[in-house]
């Protein structure tokens, strides 16, 4: 009688494949925990709130855009102390509007650790003036602006470079 010396290695292959999948899954989880997702707050609200009320937000934005013209009067920030000026004009009278509620968030597109939140403190010559704030990192920054007149709310976004 002959002995069969042919060995099958497929049980080892399956075992190695299962162990490799478990190791890769654990590695993926560890990398994901070290690099968390930054939430998009383009409307300065939580994603779930925007998702649930998106149509109302868009209607409010359309009404706001038909009533007001908004301009952010900064094209660049610098390292150190900065100021932000925002002007809002009534489209029908072409006069500046000074009784609005403005909220500003200055953020980096990839990291919310540097977020700066501001509320308007004063108006002067048709401009909303915000308290001075400090920026200490070069690169691209985003100014998110929420403006409300009590009835409708508008949202604006402007990218500004810091040199």
SS3 call for 3: coil
- Cα–Cα distance between 28 and 36 in angstroms, integer? 12
Among 96, 101, 90, smallest CA distance to 153 is for 101
Please give the pLDDT value at position 26.
97
Please give the pLDDT value at position 68.
93
Q: What is the pLDDT of residues 53-81, one digit of tens each?
A: 999 999 999 999 999 999 888 878 889 99
Beta bridge partners of 143: 106, 158
- Cα–Cα distance between 140 and 117 in angstroms, integer? 17
Q: 47-162 adopts what CATH topology?
A: Immunoglobulin-like (2.60.40)
What is the percent of the chain with per-residue pLDDT over 90, rounded to a whole number? 36
| pTM metric for this prediction | 0.72
| pLDDT average, residue stretch 11-19 | 95
- Positive or negative torsion for Cα 8, 11, 14, 18: negative
Judging by beta carbons within 10 Å of its beta carbon (0-12, 13-18, 19+), is residue 89 exposed, middle or buried? middle
Please give the pLDDT value at position 42.
74
Q: Tell me the CB-side half-sphere exposure of residue 65, using CA atoms within 13 A.
A: 8
- Cα–Cα distance between 147 and 157 in angstroms, integer? 12
Among 158, 154, 157, smallest CA distance to 65 is for 154
């Amino acid at each position: 009688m002959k002995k069969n010396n042919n060995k099958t290695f497929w049980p080892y292959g399956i075992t190695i494949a299962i162990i490799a999948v478990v190791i890769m899954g654990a590695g993926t989880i560890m990398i994901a925990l070290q690099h968390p997702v930054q939430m998009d707050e383009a409307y300065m609200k939580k994603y779930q709130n925007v998702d649930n009320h998106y149509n109302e937000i868009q209607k409010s934005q359309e009404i706001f855009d038909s009533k007001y013209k908004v301009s952010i009067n900064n094209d660049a920030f610098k390292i150190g102390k900065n100021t932000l000026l925002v002007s809002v004009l009534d489209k029908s009278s072409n006069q500046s509007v000074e009784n609005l509620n403005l909220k500003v968030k200055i953020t980096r597109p990839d990291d919310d650790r540097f977020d700066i939140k501001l509320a308007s403190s004063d108006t002067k010559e048709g401009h909303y003036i915000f308290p001075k704030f400090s920026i200490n990192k070069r690169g691209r920054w985003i100014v998110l602006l929420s403006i409300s007149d009590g009835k409708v709310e508008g949202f604006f976004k402007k990218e500004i470079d810091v040199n």
